[in-house]
Amino acid sequence: MLKQIKIGRVTTRNNVFLAPLAGYTNYPFRKICADFGAGLCFTEMVSAKGLKYGSENTKELLYTHADEGLTAVQIFGSDPQIMRMACESEDLAPFPIVDINMGCPVPKIYKNGEGSALLENPKLAEKIVQECVKSGKEITVKFRVGINDDYIITEEFANRMAGAGASLLTIHGRTKEKIYAGDVNFKEIEKAKKAVDIPVIANGGVFSLEDGKKLMQETGADGIMIARAALFNPQIFCSFSGVNEGGRYEMFEKQLTMTRELFGERFTTVFMRKMAAFYVKGMRGAAVFKDRLFKSENPDEVLEIARQIWTETTPEK
């Protein structure tokens, strides 16, 4: 199932991508996933307005390094000119691919006319893509099949985005109303794939190699995008790539070390506590470990608890 994907003038290593995950897909996490075989990784979604007004918090989300391989940046907004300015900014210079978020279901984003709200304004969505393409970047679009079961717009929206100049589409097979629950609508993704002549990536419900194969087979998509499953287990990419998983503790230690070097003690403590909580989900004694994790006060304590999690058979009580 693995193959390269051409996104305009850019070629990916393979067709199994890491989704943009707000609050999580920073450089260390992307680096881990890339090392396990992710063919393309996306930054957290970044506000185009935040870039325009020089927000330091926004810029922190954009740290990258040549050693992580091909990385795309995801931006969101609703003003075509501001979106183009973001694409042309120095902040986005390291990224050859700019993905436009037209699927975020979070109420704050939606009510501001951004994210999935653009599904209800396809002419504006077209204009945004047309302007962003003028920047010279390869422009991709991530969107959902619709707002709710009474407003499904997949095929039309795909056609509009491709016509506006997008080089690739990623389609989350759920409506805005369903958030991340419910079945993935294979048929709608399949319709979009048949309607356009650019690559289509299917997103939603992939938690195993078998899930990924089924999603591609049922939709005819060119590739898949993995989201929440990567938060619970970045080694999921190994199932597709054949890369050796290695040890879970070694992975965690590497991620914590990189995070600490980049973001400092406090951020690392809070962030890696959350990551460890994801990684131990389903393990025997997970509740006890989580309780200890969230009482830890520095990265060294977090790392020591992690060492015990993955080198001892039962947690201390």
Q: Which member of 41, 87, 104, 132 is catalytic?
A: 104
In the numeric block, the tokens 């979009």 are attached to 192
Q: Which residues contact 57 (CB under 8 A, 6 or more apart)?
A: 50
CB 125 within 8 A of CB 133: no
Residue type, 182: G
CB 184 within 8 A of CB 173: yes
CA distance 125 to 231: 30
CA distance 56 to 125: 27
Residue 301 DSSP SS3: helix
- Torsion angle of C-alpha atoms 62, 68, 71, 74, degrees rounded to 10: -30
Pair type for strands 223-226 and 200-203: parallel
CA distance 167 to 87: 15
Pair type for strands 97-102 and 71-76: parallel
Could you write out the DSSP letters of every residue in 280-298? TTTSTTHHHHHHHHTT--S
Q: Which residues contact 31 (CB under 8 A, 6 or more apart)?
A: 65, 67, 68, 258
User: Among this protein's residues, is 104 annotated catalytic?
Assistant: yes
Residue 99 DSSP SS3: strand
Element (H or E) spanning 305, and its range? helix 299-311
Tokens, residue 21: 């995950």
| Positions marked active-site | 104
